Amino acid sequence: MIAVEAADGDWPQWQGPNRTNLSTETGLLKQWPAVGPAVTWLITNIGTGYGTVAIQGDRIYVQGILGALGKGGTSAVFCLNRADGKTIWTRSLGRSLEQEKGGGPRGTPTVEGERVYALSEDGDLACLQSKDGSRLPIRVYQAGRTLLSVAANFTFEIRACSPAMISRPDNLTWRLDHIIV
């Protein structure tokens, strides 16, 4: 389980603040209008992928493809304005992959404080500054059969392209057990 401080309406990681996939929002419609809910905004330039969004404050983070899949496109994290969907910043993670069940990233960014963590479909782990998408250094080392990555003093254990955050500087230990990639 992840311990993440989340404001009302924040969804900072896969399956929400407590990884239960349950929202605490209230006042939701009991029945949808026949034509569906009103569209607040729409974005079309984030390419393909199968992940979900992470929401923190006034920003939405999602993974997608920069450029054309299979034609030099790269896996990327997009930071969007929550109010209007406009792109605030985009950061390439590495090459995109075409796969038999469809191309593009499978992950959901994880937001923790001022950092955004993302794992590409090719196994590239990134630690990004939430304000501008700039990269923070990551150290990678092999421990037996397990690959460990250290990003901004957090340690991630990588097994079959699923990161597990296992420690952080203030000794709070938490895990990301099932990021889908």
- Domains of the chain by residue range: 54-167
For residue 57, pLDDT over 70 is answered with yes
According to DSSP, the residues that pair with 158 across neighbouring strands are: 147, 163
Give the closest residue to 135 by CA, choosing from 82, 77, 60.
77
Query: CB pairs under 8 A, 24+ apart, for 37-40?
Result: 40/85
Overall residue count recorded for the chain in this entry: 181
pLDDT given at position 5: 41
Which residues have C-beta within 8 Å of that of residue 53, sequence separation ≥ 6?
A: 11, 60, 61, 62, 108
The more confident residue out of 140 and 30 is 30
Q: Which residues contact 116 (CB under 8 A, 6 or more apart)?
A: 54, 61, 77, 79, 109, 110, 127, 128, 129, 130, 133
The owner of tokens 């990233």 is: 105
Its pTM stands at: 0.75
pLDDT at 81: 95
Segment 71-86 shows an average pLDDT of 91
Mean pLDDT of the chain: 74
Residue 156: the pLDDT is: 54
Q: What pLDDT is stored for residue 26 in this prediction?
A: 84
Tokens of 51: 């992940």
Class of domain 54-167 (CATH, top level): mainly beta
